[in-house]
Structure 1
Amino acid sequence: MKKKIIENVKTLIIALILAVIIRSLLIQPFFIPSSSMESTLLIGDRLFVTKYSYGYSRHSFPFSIKLLSERVLYTEPDRGDVIVFKTPADNRTDYIKRLIGKPGDIIQFVNGDLYLNKKKIEKEFVKKDTVLCGQEKIEVNIYKEKITEDSEYQIAYFANDSMTDTDTYTVPKDHFFFLGDNRDCSKDSRFLMSVGYVNKENLVGKARFLFFSNDQSIGNFFTFWRWHNSIRFNRILKKII
């Protein structure tokens, strides 16, 4: 009996070690709790993030244990990538946004249009729709935005009272500038006191695809008896672009 208990404990320890290795070095699940990336990501989406995409830092490990003094095996992310990062404000909270600006880039909104290095990023109207902002449904205009030849995605602007102009933002060395796709309902790099420019050390990984999604107003992951109504089947295994 004692031998069996010892073997079970060994198996559990090995399983935990393997789980930590996989979570730290390969892939990690994340849950979307806010509407800042609608309609690319919805509240209740669960997704996988690849940890190896941009190399590793202390934020690759559980609780941001300081096993690394700097980022190793670093690969610079591409504009348009959807990335999980630790907020500079506390180096603890996970945010997920879209990468817009790289080190040295100059970013500004003028008359509601995004400018990158003084060049207007063209957006094409797609449709009128509604998105959540907090708990409130807001009428928006959905646009298709193309920030590079290989990165095209949809963004939302409030149909009324949309943000129009900002100061210029110059991205510092080794930092990045992020925006939410729900442009008027996102706390992102435009808010320098709370998010601001994100150091490359704070990058956690690249969002790849959804593995589960359910409408939180109907039920959550654990209320399985409501899954038939709450699960968004059309979003399962959806690639994030």
Structure 2
Amino acid sequence: MAKKSKEGGNAIWETIKTVFWALIIAGLFRTLFFQPFWIPSGSMKDTLLIGDFLFVNKMAYGYSYASCPNIHVGPINLDARQICGFFDGENKRWLGHEPQRGDVVVFRHPVSGEDYIKRLIGLPGDEIQVRDSLLYINGKPVEVKDGGTFVEKYEPQGPQGRPPRCANAPVGEGGECKKFRLIETLPNGVTHDILNIGYMPSADDTGVFRVPEGHYFMMGDNRDNSTDSRFAQSVGGVGFVPAEDLIGRADRIIFSSAGRSLLYFWTWRADRFFKKIV
């Protein structure tokens, strides 16, 4: 009987060790290489849709405190700075690589610490402005051309259950929600879709933003439905994003579901599986 009890105790201990090392390995993988990210809002439509699931490439820009995840499990409530505080300070990155204009970037909000995903529009030293819904970089308008109309169903979307905003509002439940689509080409040749809903003074006509050294200017592709660098942090916006707050680059969608749960297999978007993000 004593022998069986000892064997049982050894089995439990081996299980605990296996789980422990599995968590350590998973944590290192998530910190050093790739972080899963689920798109919760429509600010990057139509490049990214609510329910797209992707992995963030953390090797793209090197490492900072933001490379470590926030951990919120039961009574454990640790911020990334508490875990990787040795990286923090002086807005520096370890083994850093410069992000490129047009990259789709996941970063930590400079104030709230929440993870955001936007497109990098302005580099250090750039002057960014929006005039009459058209983006200007260093005083020159970017090239845009008509991209047709983006159409989606007017219904609750994703886990938050919020309906989309429409250029043809009001739209009844189940109706066609339309947005104006343009194809925008940035100065370095990166081409991507943007969406417009209608004229919004605070977003479509701005002052000139001068991007400080060591910072970046981010915008959502769904231009009239994005809280980004056009809005100051003091009013809930993103403002300029320090280099140390970058988490990584979004390169490819792995999986996509239009439903409120992964279990709703009939809502899976098979045409978006493994789609390259541009």
TM-score by length of 2: 0.80
Give the whole-Å Cα distance in 1 for the aligned partners of 2:18 and 2:232: 47
Matched pairs, number? 233
Structure 2: stretches of 5+ with no match in the other structure: 1-7, 71-79, 167-177
2:224 to 181, 184, 187: 184
1:100 to 116, 121, 135: 121
Q: CA deviation at 1:74?
A: 0.9
Aligned to 1:165: 205
Higher alpha-carbon deviation: 59-68 or 231-240: 59-68
2:86 to 67, 91, 104: 67
Could you report, residue by residue, the CA deviation over 1:68-97 in whole angstroms, capped at 9, with x for unpaired residues? 13421111100000000011122x200000
Moved over 4 A (4+): 131-134
Letter in 2 for 1:233: A
Q: Percent identity over the alignment?
A: 41
Q: CA deviation at 1:149?
A: 4.0
Higher alpha-carbon deviation: 62-71 or 32-41: 62-71
Cα RMSD, aligned residues only: 1.6
Q: CA deviation at 1:56?
A: 0.4
Letter in 2 for 1:236: F
Check if 1:220 corresponds to 2:261.
Answer: yes
8 A Cα contact 1:50 1:207, kept in partner: yes
Check if 1:54 corresponds to 2:91.
Answer: no
Secondary structure at the counterpart of residue 154 of structure 1: strand
Letter in 2 for 1:210: I
Secondary structure at the counterpart of residue 238 of structure 1: coil
Give the whole-Å Cα distance in 1 for the aligned partners of 2:238 and 2:246: 13
Secondary structure at the counterpart of residue 20 of structure 1: helix
TM-score by length of 1: 0.92
Could you report, residue by residue, the CA deviation over 1:69-128 in whole angstroms, capped at 9, with x for unpaired residues? 3421111100000000011122x2000000000111000111221100011101111102
Letter in 1 for 2:261: N
Structure of larger gyration radius: 2
2:38 to 31, 37, 62: 31
8 A Cα contact 1:130 1:137, kept in partner: no
Check if 1:82 corresponds to 2:110.
Answer: no
Q: CA deviation at 1:137?
A: 3.9
Q: CA deviation at 1:13?
A: 1.1
Aligned to 1:155: 194
Which runs of structure 2 are paired with 1:89-128 in the superposition (5 Å)? 89-90=111-112, 92-128=113-149
- The structure with the largest strand share of the pair is 1
Aligned to 2:243: 200
8 A Cα contact 1:80 1:148, kept in partner: no
Give the whole-Å Cα distance in 1 for the aligned partners of 2:111 and 2:87: 20
Secondary structure at the counterpart of residue 205 of structure 1: strand
Give the whole-Å Cα distance in 2 for the aligned partners of 1:52 and 1:39: 26
Letter in 2 for 1:156: L
Secondary structure at the counterpart of residue 36 of structure 1: coil
Structure 1: stretches of 5+ with no match in the other structure: none
Letter in 1 for 2:99: P
Aligned to 1:141: 180
